[in-house]
């Protein structure tokens, strides 16, 4: 990951110092005409062959990131958070690399299991699980169900039935504030997820779960937020979770065997931005766990982590074709053939991406441009005030790195533009793994009436 020695060795002429590939997949290489190749396949060739917008997913990068996690956390379970991006190919890569899976709906669960993922290696989350979510989870034999609210206890127990037994965990809010922005901070009491450590809600729920013979409480879960780049909040949360495990042991004589610390591991979206240091996280969480458990006199539980973004985010690249360029006073608006329907993150979370011209070398000086989507919404801005070649024009190809997480999985049908195709690249070949949504799809879903 992040080693671009090979890429820098084949620098084309005209490349500038701002042309930084540090956040691109490790397989990215520069081509002599100014373009880029990923997984051995030129991006311009992918655009021509498969059309745009398209999402290119570097299978090698996904696999390498899974291995980095396995190596960093040899004594923990690493569960890929499917909400970041899910497809049958992704399910296979994650399974083959030895990870587990975190899902949060019957849809994600069914897709994973029908694609061959072992259900016992899957954890079902969800703020509010529907009857169907629970029915599918129990029918398919999901490994763990994470209880997010006390009202779920009786529902799950009833669905399990008198003779059954289901492994469950309880999601605890440890009172730690962390995360890239306020919509993804989930570690404090003022948000919708989990059961509070401070008001006794978590303890109360645990007591009730332990009273249900149909439920086997294997451990506790917390997820403090997303896009976190600092190790410290994880250590604070971990210490509090171990404290709660000790209290459960004291109150009930029950030793909980598992502790799932969730995901949220931050990555760089633009060159120079910080990312969470995984090796440091793994090492310091382990040390904190061992020390904390020794101090509290509880057995060290098996740790789990649930990374989504850090596995798939940097492995994805979005490809767009420029449709129009408008000069309005000082401003330059570059409109592309996708936008908020394939990437709602800028509009929803206020984040900005770093698009780059990829099909030709330009000798023009740079201009400051705002890259916008094609949608009927003024907030459909992909990247405000970014540097692009001054001769940017309709027909040019733009690529946006770090596009693999929470873009397609949050895509919408707005303006019936259709969700883009996902093209996997690996060792010099490109193939469709999710096909583009078509007019025929819209027609067949809408039954008229």
Q: Catalytic residue numbers? A: 376
Residues within window 348-377 making contact with ligand LLP, judged by CB under 6 A:
349
Rounded CA-CA distance 162/214 in Å is 7
CB 148, min distance to ligand LLP, A: 9
Rounded CA-CA distance 241/314 in Å is 30
Cα 406 from chain centroid (whole Å): 6
Q: Does 214 bind ligand LLP (CB under 6 A)?
A: no
The HSE-up count of residue 45 (CA atoms within 13 Å, CB side) is: 14
Closer of 52 and 227 to ligand LLP (Cβ): 227
Q: Rule CB under 6 A: choose which of 42, 143, 201, 307 binds ligand LLP.
A: 307
Q: Rule CB under 6 A: choose which of 30, 345, 375, 419 binds ligand LLP.
A: 345
Q: Does 314 bind ligand LLP (CB under 6 A)?
A: no
Q: Rule CB under 6 A: choose which of 406, 417, 418, 430 binds ligand LLP.
A: 406
Q: Does 229 bind ligand LLP (CB under 6 A)?
A: no
Task: Specify the stretch interacting with ligand LLP by CB under 6 A; choose among 47-55, 219-227, 276-284, 333-341.
Answer: 219-227
Q: Rule CB under 6 A: choose which of 203, 212, 226, 341 binds ligand LLP.
A: 226
Structure tokens at 231: 């190790």
CB 264, min distance to ligand LLP, A: 4
Per-residue binding string, ligand LLP, 123-162, x by CB under 6 A, is: --x-------------------------------------
Rounded CA-CA distance 338/323 in Å is 10
Residue 424, C-beta contacts closer than 8 angstroms, at least 6 positions apart: 56, 57, 58, 59, 89, 430, 431, 432, 433
CB 239, min distance to ligand LLP, A: 20
Burial call 77-112: b when 16+ CB within 10 Å, e when fewer:
bbbbbbbbbbbebbbebbbebebbbbbbbbebbbbb
Closer of 187 and 307 to ligand LLP (Cβ): 307
Q: Does 184 bind ligand LLP (CB under 6 A)?
A: yes
Tell me how many residues contact ligand LLP (CB under 6 A): 21
Closer of 50 and 85 to ligand LLP (Cβ): 85
Q: Does 308 bind ligand LLP (CB under 6 A)?
A: yes
Per-residue binding string, ligand LLP, 247-286, x by CB under 6 A, is: ---------------xxxx---------------------
CB 357, min distance to ligand LLP, A: 25
CB 84, min distance to ligand LLP, A: 5
Angle at 139 between CA 94 and CA 409, to 5 degrees: 40
Residue 277, C-beta contacts closer than 8 angstroms, at least 6 positions apart: 231
Rounded CA-CA distance 225/223 in Å is 6
Q: Does 233 bind ligand LLP (CB under 6 A)?
A: no
Is there a contact between 403 and 324 (Cβ–Cβ < 8 Å)? Answer: no
Residues within window 69-128 making contact with ligand LLP, judged by CB under 6 A:
81, 83-84, 102, 125
Structure tokens at 280: 């440091």
Residue that is written with structure tokens 């396995």 in the block: 70
CB 29, min distance to ligand LLP, A: 28
In order, the DSSP letters of 109-169 are HHHHHHTT--GGGEEE--SS--HHHHHHHHHHT-SEEEE-STHHHHHHHHHH-TT--EEEE
Task: Specify the stretch interacting with ligand LLP by CB under 6 A; choose among 66-74, 211-219, 307-315, 418-426.
Answer: 307-315
Rounded CA-CA distance 88/420 in Å is 16
Strands (E), 188-253: 195-196, 215-221
Closer of 34 and 53 to ligand LLP (Cβ): 53
Residues at the site binding ligand LLP, with contacts judged by CB under 6 A: 81, 83-84, 102, 125, 184, 223, 226-227, 262-265, 306-310, 345, 349, 406
């Amino acid at each position: 990951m992040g080693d671009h020695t090979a890429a820098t060795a084949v620098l084309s002429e005209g490349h500038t110092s701002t042309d930084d590939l540090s956040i691109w997949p490790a397989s990215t290489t520069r081509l002599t005409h100014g373009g880029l190749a990923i997984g051995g396949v030129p991006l311009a060739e992918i655009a021509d062959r498969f059309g745009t917008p398209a999402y290119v997913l570097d299978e090698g990068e996904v696999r390498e990131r899974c291995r980095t996690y396995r190596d960093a956390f040899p004594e923990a379970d690493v569960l890929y958070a499917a909400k970041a991006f899910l497809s049958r190919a992704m399910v296979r890569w994650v399974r083959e690399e030895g990870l587990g899976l975190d899902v949060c709906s019957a849809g994600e669960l069914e897709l994973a299991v029908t694609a061959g993922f072992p259900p016992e290696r899957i954890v079902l989350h969800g703020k509010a699980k529907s009857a169907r979510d629970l029915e599918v989870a129990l029918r398919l034999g999901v490994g763990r169900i994470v209880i997010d609210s006390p009202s779920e206890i009786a529902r799950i127990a009833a669905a399990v039935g008198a003779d059954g037994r289901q492994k469950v965990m309880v999601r605890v809010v440890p009172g730690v504030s962390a995360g890239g922005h306020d919509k993804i901070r989930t570690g404090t009491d003022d948000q919708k997820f989990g059961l509070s450590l401070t008001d006794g809600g978590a303890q109360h729920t645990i007591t009730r779960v332990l009273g249900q013979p149909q439920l086997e409480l294997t451990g506790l879960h917390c997820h403090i937020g997303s896009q976190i780049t600092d190790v410290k909040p994880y250590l604070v949360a971990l210490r509090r979770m171990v404290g709660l495990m000790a209290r459960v042991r004291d109150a009930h004589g029950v030793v909980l065997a598992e502790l799932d610390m969730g995901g949220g591991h931050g990555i760089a979206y633009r060159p120079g931005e910080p990312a969470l240091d995984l090796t440091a996280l793994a090492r310091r969480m382990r040390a904190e766990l061992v020390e904390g458990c020794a101090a509290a006199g509880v057995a060290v539980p098996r740790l789990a982590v649930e990374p989504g973004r850090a596995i798939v985010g940097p492995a994805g690249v979005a490809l767009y074709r420029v449709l129009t360029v408008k000069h309005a006073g000082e401003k330059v608006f570059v409109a592309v053939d996708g936008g908020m329907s394939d990437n709602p993150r800028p509009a929803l979370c206020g984040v900005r991406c770093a698009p780059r011209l990829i099909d030709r070398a330009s000798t023009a000086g740079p201009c400051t441009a705002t890259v916008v989507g094609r949608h009927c919404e003024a907030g459909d801005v992909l990247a405000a005030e970014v540097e692009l070649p001054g001769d940017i024009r309709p027909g040019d190809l733009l690529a946006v790195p770090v596009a693999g997480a929470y873009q397609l999985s949050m895509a919408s049908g707005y303006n019936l533009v259709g969700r883009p195709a996902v093209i996997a690249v690996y060792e010099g070949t490109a193939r469709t793994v999710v096909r583009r949504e078509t007019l025929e799809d819209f027609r067949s879903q809408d039954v008229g009436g």
